[in-house]
Amino acid sequence: MRFFAGQIGSLSPRISSLLLVAVIVHAQDAGPVLRSETRVVLADAVAMDKKGKFAQDLTQKDFKIWEDGKEQTITGFSLESSGVSPERPSKHYIAMFFDTSTAGQTGQMAVRQEGIRFVDGFASPDRYMAVINYNFDGGVRVAQNFTTDRDLLKKALAVVPGTSNSTPTAAGTGGNPPRGGRGPAPPPAVDTFAYRSMLASLRSLVNSLAAVRGRKALVFFSGGMAVSGDLLRDLQETIDACNKANVAVYTVGAGPGGNGGGNTSASTPSTTGRVGRVANDLSTEDQNIARSLSEGTGGISFLTTNDLAASLGRVAQEQDQYYLLAYTPTVDSPEGSCHELRVKVDRSDLEVRARKGYCTSKPVDLLSGKAVGKDLEARAAGSAPGNIKAMMQLPWFYSAPNVARVNLAMDIVPAALKFQKDKGKFHSELDLAGVAYKMDGTVAARISDAVKLDFDTQQQVDAFLKTPYHYENQFEIAPGEYNFRMAFSAESSGTQGFGKVEGPLKVDPWNGKTLSASGLALSHDAHPAADLAASLDVSLLEGLRPLVAKGTEVVPTGTDKFQAGEHPVLYFEAYEPLLAGAKPDAPVPPVGVRVRVFDRATGAQKEDAGIKSIGSFERPGNAAIPIVAPIPMSNLPAGAYRLEVSVMRPTGDPIVRTADFDIN
């Protein structure tokens, strides 16, 4: 589930530019926060004059916005700019994606040198950049994870990977179309399978960025090609994925001939980024992939010139400054639906760019204000236990100093759920509402959700009812001690289909100036990460994210019970002091980890994995160190145990985290 930060009414710079936002309402004592859901669509827009300068004097009355062709009433307006409070600094994400299959070595080298100049001029402590390479033979490779370290970025940009042996151009063209004296030649004939593969890889990258709050920029370096009818659907799917993830694509043509100095094709627009047609009307073959991506997502398509670095500076500037418009849709739309979006400025001397669509997603407090949500909260506070059994774990991780992201994991026994035939499907729906209470009984955080369960056959339903249903969600909370209660019910099961689970939640404070560690996530399931989350530095990204360490994704269990002979794993994170981009004068002492197991009844130590270095898990430029390790229990008999993890340096007191578990 997504979570977005902001303030009601003011539309401050911390409000995300996505939609269906769960808004943080700051308590007057600046302590833990209350959350409520407001159904609103937020759209960011960049307004430029004819000289390419950002227009800073616009007001709400200057803008108009349409959803699916119907004009909407703008209810909120703000000028978003960098420079938020140091307690919670803003982050701006720029991914540089190089399609090496469509540009020769010379063209790649030219644009990469301009990319180095861009990094030199615009890298800053709040701009996180990544370098990603695509090759038809090798797929996507992350050359440099998101970092603010300009030296690491320049090192990744300086390496030009070899071009593909399986050229995407048709046989006989050699990837170097002849050029005459009358301007650039048209793009060569293409093998559409190769470009379809490239677009699929681009969508994979975009989907990995979807959980990041706010507007992201993707700079797409490609030789370009004309869009054929075979590719229109793939191109539109890519544009839709970018809009859903709120990724603006800025395209740069490296030149298929490799000279790096001309247009990618006759259809490539100038640096004004002027939008010629709506992205959802891709029906002609003179469109260019690069141009269509930028037009459809609110970005710009640049010429490859000697001043490219300065042009790319606009990418950074537009991440730092844009207008944020808010409106409440006149028609409610179903969860997961997508809509066309159009923004206009009533001034002839200005041009406005915004993404061409958005897709709905669940807020963190989906049932807020609804009768079912209020009923579940009352049941959570009551004494009735219900008849749907479940177990719950609440591992937590820092998303910023003194801000924790709780990874709620539940294993629910679904035997009491009833399924009914609905439109040819066997359907049931599980509603969930959780509340974190402070020690004085006041509410610190809320979370709610509705899960739809649909199966084609009775056999599938029977199989589902035999095993626990695993549910996960995430929410943010301030450090402190809480009691978390989760109530859940199945509407189709009547009043008897109800359950409740509760447990303590203690989040230790961390100010970002010392070594620290997260809570502990126990798991039955660790497997290779399926997509770019295995390579991208997902712990840097804000919002919903999986638990990934060195290419392994860990699924946190909702239960603390394991079977003898099982081989469970442990996920946690260590945190180095934040240096705000500065490099220490002296070497930092290494961090070690010690994992031990104790008998809960006697306190006797039963297992000790020893002190081990976590250097192999460290990532340059990143204070967060995600770690996955086995739980040492292969020699333990059935019983009740306590897992203890110590994070330490050669000097100083260790940071200790514990979690209880049983072996049956």
166 and 197 housed in the same domain: yes
Q: Please report the pLDDT score of residue 517 as a whole number.
A: 96
Residue 481 has φ and ψ, to the nearest 5°, of: -110, 130
For the whole prediction, is pTM greater than 0.75?
no
Residues 267 and 291: beta-carbon distance below 8 Å:
yes
Q: Please report the pLDDT score of residue 224 as a whole number.
A: 62
Is 13 domain-assigned?
no
Q: Would you give the distance in Å from CA 614 to the centre of its chain?
A: 25
Is 132 domain-assigned?
yes
Strand partners, 251: 220, 301
Find the domain containing 57 and state its range.
Answer: 22-89+323-359
355 and 491 housed in the same domain: no
Output the domain CATH number for residue 107.
Answer: 3.40.50.410
85 and 112 housed in the same domain: no
What does the DSSP assignment read for 443-507? EEEEEEEEEEEEESSHHHHHHHHTSPEEEEEEEEE-SEEEEEEEEEEEGGGGGG-EEEEEEEEEE
Residues 436 and 482: beta-carbon distance below 8 Å:
yes
Decide which of 465, 494, 509 is a domain's last residue.
509
Dist CA 485 CA 377 (whole Å): 9
Output the domain CATH number for residue 384.
Answer: 2.60.40.10
523 and 626 housed in the same domain: yes
Residue ranges of the chain with per-residue pLDDT less than 70: 1-40, 81-90, 102-106, 136-139, 162-192, 211, 213, 223-230, 253-287, 303-307, 334-336, 360-366, 491-496, 529-545, 578-588, 620-621
Q: Please report the pLDDT score of residue 606 as a whole number.
A: 96
285 and 168 housed in the same domain: yes
* CA torsion, ordered 179, 182, 186, 188, to nearest 10 deg: -20
- Give the DSSP H or E segment for 605: strand 605-613
Q: How many domains does the chain have?
A: 4
Is 201 domain-assigned?
yes
Average pLDDT, the chain: 75
Instruction: Identify the DSSP state of 578.
Output: P
- Give the DSSP H or E segment for 196: helix 192-209
Is 10 domain-assigned?
no
480 and 552 housed in the same domain: no
pLDDT tens digits, residue range 246-291? Answer: 888 988 865 443 333 333 332 333 333 322 223 333 333 334 777 8
Dist CA 4 CA 13 (whole Å): 12
Output the domain CATH number for residue 655.
Answer: 2.60.40.2550
Is 163 domain-assigned?
yes
pLDDT tens digits, residue range 147-166? Answer: 888 899 999 999 877 654 44
Q: Please report the pLDDT score of residue 277 as a whole number.
A: 29
pLDDT tens digits, residue range 384-397? Answer: 878 889 999 999 99
146 and 232 housed in the same domain: yes
Q: Please report the pLDDT score of residue 486 as a whole number.
A: 94
Residues 216 and 541: beta-carbon distance below 8 Å:
no
pLDDT tens digits, residue range 452-502? Answer: 888 989 999 999 999 999 999 988 899 999 999 999 988 655 555 789 999
